[in-house]
Structure 1
Amino acid sequence: MKWLKSLMLICLIPLLTGCWDKYELANTSIVTGMAVDKGESFKYKLTIETTEAREMSYQTASGLAPSTVSSLEGNNIGELTSKFNIMNATHPIYSHTRVLVLSEDIVEDGLLEFMDFFDRNREIRDDFAIVIARAGKAQDILKVTNMYKKSASLKLFTQLNTMQKDWGGAPDIKLNDYTRISNSEGQAPVLPAVQLIGDSKKGGNVENLKSEVPDSEVKVNSMGVLKNGKLAGYASLNEIRDMLFVQGKIKNAAITAKCENGEQNFEYRVTHSKTKVIAKEIKGIPEFYINIRTEGYLDGTQCLQKLRDLKAYEGFEKSIDNKMENEIRGLIQKTKQDFNADIFGLGELLRQQDYKNFKKYKDTWDDGYAKSKIHVSFNTEIKRSGLRKDRYIMK
């Protein structure tokens, strides 16, 4: 029996050990955002934002800076993430990173091989957003204080999610989405783009978050399209919304269209959207039939039609359908001529629905997309007119 007790004690020893890799909370700092620029002396310049927990809470805040921004240069991002104790006293924890900002120069030159580090590292989660900093440095995006969340990274992460859900103006691209699309055979990756508006030097001042009109703020204003790992160009906010309609990812959106007289406008609020795409090759040409159906309500009108007449709604619906079909066709033409990249993922749909014919485009889908025929049908159904029937002033 003694040998049995000894064996049980030996088996229990691994369960009684402490956390060999633990860090005391007082000796750690939470990284909420990272930015990558071109270095002056080395290949990359990595910037991290670490938050100060006491300043993040309104109950314990004392008016000091809510976060700290630090930068290091080097030739390897993985090495730089572990070297910040050169200037910081605490151990950085990267598992709570919410935003990765890439400078326009980095994306234009295709210097994105470091993305393999983020995808491979087990201490970094894959649910953070990736954005491009237009016309400026990526590090400056992390230096802009604000009233909401106080942290530049936390505010930008929430801003992107809200923009996508409320209006459809930002693609919901996290690290796992970027990796999947980059490795796909029938789709080109896209990334939301932001721009610093105002004085970048004043953006980091505590006074910036106390001001009613901040001296500096970060705006989501476009979307970058990547081709073969490099920046091919930008799409506007409306074009982002049109892309998300095709992909069936619109949750809510607002559409402004012309009245029958072609002068005044009316607004349509989309509450439900569903997209169905049929993909097949016909006589050697990939063809796609995109059918988008939306439901919603009238959000405001300057038109003189009386809304008690059902024919008025038919006119509104026809105006929206024509506008959106033309917009989406224009975006498709732009992606073919300017980008030569399938940002919609139509190639992936062809692979799923007609793999026999897709196989010949496996490594050359750009050529297949360039010659493809894409048919767009947009169908609107206005369910209600809001709290009133007719226009506020019928003149």
Structure 2
Amino acid sequence: MNFLKCILLLCLLLLLTGCWDRNELAKTSIVTGMAVDKGESFKYKLTIETTEAREMTALTATGLASSNVASLEGNTIGELVSKFNVVNATIPIYSHMRVLVISEELAKDGMLDFMDFFDRNRQIRDDFLIVIARTGKAGDILNVNNMYKKSPSLKLFTQLTTMQKDWGGAPDIKLNDYTRIYNSEGQAPVLPAVQLIGDPKKGGNIENLKSEAPDNQVKVNSLAAFKNGKLAGYASLYEVRDLLFVQGKIKSTSIDAKCVDEKKKFEYRVTHSTTKITAKEVKGIPNFYIKIKTEGILDGTECLTKLGNAGAFESFELSINKTMEKEIKEFIKKTKEEFNADIFGLGDLLREQDYKNFKKYKDTWDDGYAKAKMHVDFNSEIKRSGLRKERYIENK
């Protein structure tokens, strides 16, 4: 009987778990951002930002730096990550990383093979944002402290997320999105682009954190389009919004359009947007029928139109539709002529809806996209005029 009890106890021991891979909090540091540049002596230069938890909250802050930024050069990102303790005293924890910044120089040369490491590594989640640093070093982006978020990476993550939600000026591209689109047969990847404004050497200065008008800021200003793994060009913030309208990803935005006399303007706040695209080949030409329907409110007006009159909103809606249809068509033309890349994912829609004809473009969709015809129908509907019906400034 005692023998059976011993066997049972031994079996129960197998069910107990231990902390064989535990790390003491005092010996670890949380990585919130990473940046990759071309190295001077080696292929890559990796910059990592780690945070000091005690300095992130007012209750425990002592006035020391809330984050630490360090760099190391090597030939592979995996090598650099594993030996980063050459410059870092604690064990880096990568599972909470929020932003990966890639230099424009690397993007132009197509040196993005290191993305395979991030996609494969089990210690790094796939929910961080990827951005391109224009006209400068990617590592400098992680050196710009700010008043809103003490960590540059956390501030940039919030900045991009809010921009996409409130205005539609930044695509929500995370690692899994980039990987899926990169391997797609009918879509080219895009990434938001940021630019450092000011002197890079002053970004980490504590005075920059205290100043009402900082000497150094990170600005979200464009979209980077890729072709065959290399940077093909940039799109403006307004063109980013056009992209998101076509993809049906606009949550909210503001559109300004001309009044009837075309000398004044009004603003239309989009509160709801849906997009329906029909793709089919007609006489050997891929055709895409893009129907965008929006609802919103009149956000402000300089027009002299009496809003109390029946059908007063019709002229506003016609102006909005005309403006956006022209804007979207011009951007599609730009992607054909300058990028020669389908960043909208229209090829994937043709594959889903007309696979029989898409098969001939399977390996050469760029050729199909270049000759494709686009039919854009923008339909706006102003639901209300806000808290006021007529303009508070009467026409004198």
User: Shared topology, TM-score over 0.5?
Assistant: yes
Partner of 2:233: 233
Counterpart position of 2:169: 169
Q: Per-residue deviation at 1:372?
A: 0.6
Q: 1:55: how far off?
A: 0.9
- Is the 1:46–1:80 contact (alpha carbons within 8 Å) kept by the matching residues of 2? yes
Structure 1, residues 193-224: CA drift from partner, whole Å, max 9, x if none?
Answer: 00001111111011211111111010100000
**Which residue pairs with 1:331 in the alignment?**
331
- Which secondary structure does the structure 2 equivalent of 1:337 belong to? helix
Report if the CA contact (8 A) 1:44-1:75 is conserved: yes
Partner of 1:244: 244
Q: Would you say the 8 A contact 1:73–1:80 is kept in 2?
A: yes
Instruction: Report the alpha carbon displacement of residue 246 of structure 1 after superposing the two structures with TM.
Output: 0.3
Further displaced range: 75-84 or 231-240:
75-84
Which secondary structure does the structure 2 equivalent of 1:380 belong to? strand
Work out whether 1:297 is the aligned partner of 2:297: yes
Q: Indicate the residue corresponding to 1:261 in structure 2.
A: 261
Partner Cα distance (1:93, 1:110) in 2: 28
**1:35 maps to 2:12:** no
Residue 3 (structure 1) shift: 5.4
Check the 8 A contact 2:72/2:87 in 1, yes or no. no
What SS does structure 1 have at the residue aligned with 2:123?
Answer: coil
Alpha-carbon distance in structure 1 between the residues aligned to 2:153 and 2:319: 40
Does the 8 Å contact 2:335/2:343 carry over to 1? yes
Which one-letter code corresponds to 1:336 in the other structure? K
SS in 1 for 2:320: helix
- Return the alpha-carbon distance in structure 1 between the equivalents of residues 364 and 203 of structure 2: 45
Find the counterpart in structure 2 of residue 25 from structure 1: 25
1:107 equivalent to 2:111? Answer no
CA distance in 2, matches of 1:11, 1:357: 62
3-state SS of paired residue (1:310): coil
1:82 Cα shift? 1.3
Amino acid at match of 1:321: N
Per the alignment, in what secondary structure is the counterpart of residue 278 of structure 1? Answer: strand
SS at match of 2:14: helix
Count of aligned positions: 395
* Preserved contact between residue 35 and residue 138 of structure 1 (Cα < 8 Å): yes
- Cα distance in 2 for partners of 1:310, 1:94 equals 60
1:89 aligned partner: 89
* SS in structure 2 at match of 1:15: coil
Could you say what secondary structure the match of 1:287 adopts? strand
Q: 1:311, CA displacement in angstroms?
A: 2.8
Matches within 5 A, 1:1-395: 1=1, 4-395=4-395
Report the secondary structure of 1:193's partner residue. strand
Is contact 1:64–1:206 with CA below 8 Å preserved after alignment?
A: no
Structure 1 CA distance, aligned partners of 2:8 and 2:163?
58
TM-fit CA distance, 1:88: 1.4
Q: Amino acid of the residue matched to residue 338 of structure 2?
A: D
Q: 1:170 is paired with a residue of what secondary structure? A: coil
Instruction: Tell me the TM-score normalised to structure 1 length.
Output: 0.98
Aligned Cα root-mean-square deviation (Å): 1.0
Q: Aligned-pair distance for 1:2?
A: 5.2
Find the aligned partners of 1:330 and 1:338 in 2 and give their Cα distance.
12
Moved over 6 A (4+): none
Letter in 1 for 2:150: K
